[in-house]
Structure 1
Amino acid sequence: MTHHTESVAPEGVSIDGKTIALLVTDGVELLELTEPLAAIRGAGGTPKIVSPKKSSLQAMKGDWEHADHFDVDHQLGTVSASDFDALVLPGGTLNADSLRIDEKAQEFVSGFFSESKPVAAICHGPWILTEVGQVSGRRMTSYAALRTDLSNAGAQWVDEEVVVDGGVVTSRTPKDLDAFNRVFLELVAARA
C-alpha cells in the first residue's frame, strides 16, 4: 500500500544499512507511522514494524477514524533491541496506552536503553518511557495531555517542536513530524 507523504529524509543524511524498529499496535496515529516509515526509507534505512499483533494492525486518524491496515514485520517477543539500530515510538492514544502496559513491549523498549541506541517518541509515544523508568531527569516533550504524567515521572517537560536529550528524541504532534524525523535520522546517522 503506497502513501503520499511530504516527509523526506534531510539533505545529505544517510542511514544506509541501518534497520529501525517502529513499535506499534492497533490505534497508532496514521501520519506518525507513515511519515517516519517514508523518512527512514528516504534516508536509505530499513524500517520494520514490530507489534504485539501477529499479521496486521489498524491505524487511526485521531482516536476515532479508522485508517489503513499495516502488515507486521515482527511479532513482539520474536525480536530484541539487538536486532535494530534504533527505535521509533509513534503515538495514537489507543496504541500508546495499550503498549505501555504490555510487558513484552516494555522489555523491548528497555533493551534500546540497555544498548544505548537512539529512541524517538512522538505525541503519546513517550507514555511507555514512564513505565520503563527512562523519563526521570530528561528534558522531553509530548502531546500536551501527557505533560503531567511525564512531569510526575521526573521529566522536565517543555512545549517545543522537538527535544533531544541524550539518545532520546521527543515531539508533540503530527505537525512536528518534519523536525522529528530530521533530528532522529541525524542522530541515527551520527552513530556510525
Structure 2
Amino acid sequence: MSASLNGRRIAILVMDHFEQVELTQPKRELEAAGATTVIISLHAEQVVGMNHDVKGERFDVDLPFDQARADDFDAVLLPGGVFNADEIRNQVNAQKFVQDIVAQNKPVAVICHGAWLLVSAGLVKGRTLTSWPSLEDDIVNAGGHWVNEEVHVDGLLISSRKPDDIPAFVRNFIDVLERQPAYLS
C-alpha cells in the first residue's frame, strides 16, 4: 500500500473488551498507508480485546483520555464490542474528545456498537449512519437516520455494521482521510 497517510495521526478510543479485529485490522491498514495510530483509553495501562465472546489479547494504551487532545489528531477510530461501547459511552473525556474532533471537521470512523459513544455525545442528530442492527433504535431516538449498509459515508462520518464489513470500512476511511488536509503536517 502507498504511504498516502504519512504524517497523519489517528486516535483509537477503546475500553476493555472491544471487538479485537475492529481495532487490529483497521490499525494495521492505516499504518500500512503511513498513518500513526494511538490507542487511547481511561488509564495508561493495557486494554483487553475480545474475539466475539472469548477474551483476546492485551494492547498497550498510549495515552489516557484525560491527556488526549483532539488538536493532536487528524481523525478518530471507534471500534465496537458490546462491553467496550457500553463503558466508553459513559466516559465524559471520551465524549468530549469525539465532540472536539467533530467540531474541528475531522473524520470519525465507527463500527458496530461503537456508535453508542456518538449517541451519548449528542453527535448523531441529523446524520445518517449504520451500526450493529440493535443500535437502530438508539440512533433513531437520538435524531439520526439508520441504514443497513456495509459501509455508509455521511460527510466525515464513516460507519459500518460488523467485522465482515471491515475491508470496505477501512477503504472508505482511508479515502476520506486522503481527501482531508493533514492537520498536523
1:128 aligns with 2:117: yes
- Normalised by the length of structure 2, the TM-score is 0.95
- Residue 8 of structure 2 is matched in structure 1 by 18
- Matched with 1:109 is 98
Structure having the larger proportion of residues in helix: 2
User: 5+ unaligned residues in a row in structure 2: which ranges?
Assistant: none
The answer to whether the 8 A contact 1:13-1:186 is kept is no
* Distance in 2 of aligned mates of 1:117 and 1:16: 16
User: What amino acid maps onto 2:15 in structure 1?
Assistant: T
My pick for the range that moved more, 130-139 or 119-128, is 130-139
Match in the other structure for 1:145: 134
Q: Which residue of 1 aligns with 2:29?
A: 39
User: Percent identical across equivalent pairs?
Assistant: 42
Are 1:95 and 2:84 counterparts?
A: yes
Q: 1:189 aligns with which of 175, 178, 182?
A: 178
Alpha-carbon distance in 1 for matches of 2:35, 2:91: 27
Q: Which residue among 152, 158, 172 is the counterpart of 1:163?
A: 152
RMSD, aligned α-carbons: 1.0
Structure 1 segments, 4+ long, off by >6 Å, are none
Letter in 2 for 1:16: N
For residues 139 and 57 of structure 1, what CA distance do their matches in structure 2 show? 30
Following the alignment from structure 1 to structure 2, what is the Cα–Cα distance between the partners of residues 71 and 155? 34
Given that residues 13 and 189 in structure 1 are in contact (C-alpha distance below 8 angstroms), is that contact kept between their aligned partners in structure 2? no
Q: Give the C-alpha shift of residue 13 in structure 1.
A: 6.8
Note if contact 2:10-2:76 (Cα within 8 Å) is conserved in structure 1: yes
Using the alignment, how far apart are the partners of 1:96 and 1:37 within structure 2?
Answer: 18
Distance in structure 2 (CA, Å) of the matches to 1:13 and 1:164 = 23
Where 1:25 maps in the other structure, the secondary structure is coil
CA distance in 2, matches of 1:115, 1:61: 33
Distance 1:24 1:59 in 2: 9
Distance 2:154 2:100 in 1: 18
Instruction: Name 2:54's counterpart in structure 1.
Output: 65
